[in-house]
Amino acid sequence: MHSFSRLLTFFRKHWILMGGIIGIILLRFLLLVITPPGFYLDEAAGGAHVIALLQHGTNAHGEAWPLFSSSLGGGYTTPIYLYPLAAWVAIFGASEYALRAFSLFATILTAALIGYVLRKWFDNKTALIGVVIALTLPWGWVQGSVAWDPALVPLFIAGALASFSIAMKTAHSRRRIAAITGVGIILILLAYLYPPCRVTAPLLLVTFYSILFWQKKLSMTYTLLAIPFFLVLCIPLLQFMLQPEALERSRQLSVLYNTSVGEAILRGILNFSSMLSPQFLFITGDSNLRHATGIQGMLGPAALPPLIALAVAAIRFLKKRSRYTQLLRNQEIFLVLILLLGIVFSLLGSALTTEGQPHSLRATAAWPFYALLIAIGWRQLLTSSPNYIKYTSLTIAVIATTYYIVDLATLYPQRSASSFDVSTRQDIEAGTVNQNYPSLSIDYYKNK
């Protein structure tokens, strides 16, 4: 009875945010019927592997219970995506909507974990604000609504952050050990999931474990025991990465391909800086309409007021407290520094490739860190700013988000139709097979 009373009080205090979260989730599932449009060939290829796995216990190439399944353009459908999706399809079917709903479900879980992280560090209100941001952030909307491996990347990032937060905050040693182990396992699975994260995951693991060790949450004994265990988990991935086909794919996408070391470094720096530009973050975003809508940046104008508020607060704090130890005692500043490192590590995997820069999909691991930063910015803005700034900021956020959603539902499906094989899909459904369309993708339509 006491727990129910507390829950009722929670809903009364935060009913606007709770109602907004429920409404956004319902809206996202409804919009999934019309946007993104069509069904891209990469999505169909993954669907073909899933259907074959459920029907025959093999991938679409006839390989029994595969680790990595060869897909299109030299890429692979990874086990961290394939097997959970197969379980989902066994329950909900293999329709285009069902496959995309799996990605959306992962995005919703990501938002929930972002809220959990914020609740661990701050309070319920900040947590709910974080969930709203994660559900409406442009970076995660289109990419989290397409049936492909990268849609799960933010979930693993948020899971690692949640485990790290538990390890930092809990007073129970057993729970801390379980959380610390969880950080390592989740980040290793992230490396299996998506190639660019093979740069991000080890950097995050070293960072999280270094912080835990420095904060006396992690013992040297545990570290020495954990390292061999984690290395064993990585063996199948290392064996796959050393195969000639995988090495060639990595070589062709690398900034080092057919160039000098100096030129590669310069190219990497330019790629990295392009993903931090105002145009990319706030104005137009990724030009690939499978990655973004093209009418707002990856964070959108709604993110500007809280990020500005956070920057102003950080400058004021630095002026007041110049000592390094004082800075790190403030949990807000401490968490912000961790999130900034996370963003840098998440962008590196994309920056080290050459194709389609700035490439937001390969940097999709960054948006949970950005969502957390924006939530902290709103916390600062709503607690420390005059009312006229609060209301102006909220108005900007509501207008920008509403405009994004209206465009997503009305104009974006037409604008991006060619990017999602709309006409080709219609031809295949009508029985007309395009000879230039990949046979692996056609298998999905034949067998679904």
pLDDT of 332 = 86
Position of tokens 């560090």? Answer: 121
Nearest to 273 by CA among 358, 366, 204, 364: 358
Distance CA 352, CA 269 (A): 9
Nearest to 212 by CA among 171, 260, 256, 180: 180
Torsion of CA 41, 46, 49, 53, to 10 degrees: -150
Q: pTM of the entire structure?
A: 0.95
pLDDT of 34 = 97
Number of residues that this document lists for the chain? 448
Spatial CB neighbours of 312, under 8 Å, sequence gap ≥ 6: none
Distance CA 108, CA 404 (A): 19
pLDDT of 329 = 60
pLDDT tens digit at each of 448 positions of the chain: 555 556 556 566 688 899 999 999 999 999 999 999 999 999 999 999 999 999 999 999 999 999 999 999 889 999 999 999 999 999 999 999 999 999 999 999 999 999 999 999 999 999 999 999 999 999 999 999 999 999 999 999 999 999 999 999 999 999 999 999 999 999 999 999 999 999 999 999 999 999 999 999 999 999 999 999 999 999 999 999 999 999 998 999 999 998 899 999 999 999 999 999 999 999 999 999 999 999 999 999 999 999 999 999 888 877 775 555 555 567 888 999 999 999 999 999 999 999 889 999 999 999 999 999 999 999 999 998 899 999 999 999 999 999 999 999 999 999 999 999 998 888 888 888 777 899 999 999 999 8
pLDDT of 333 = 86
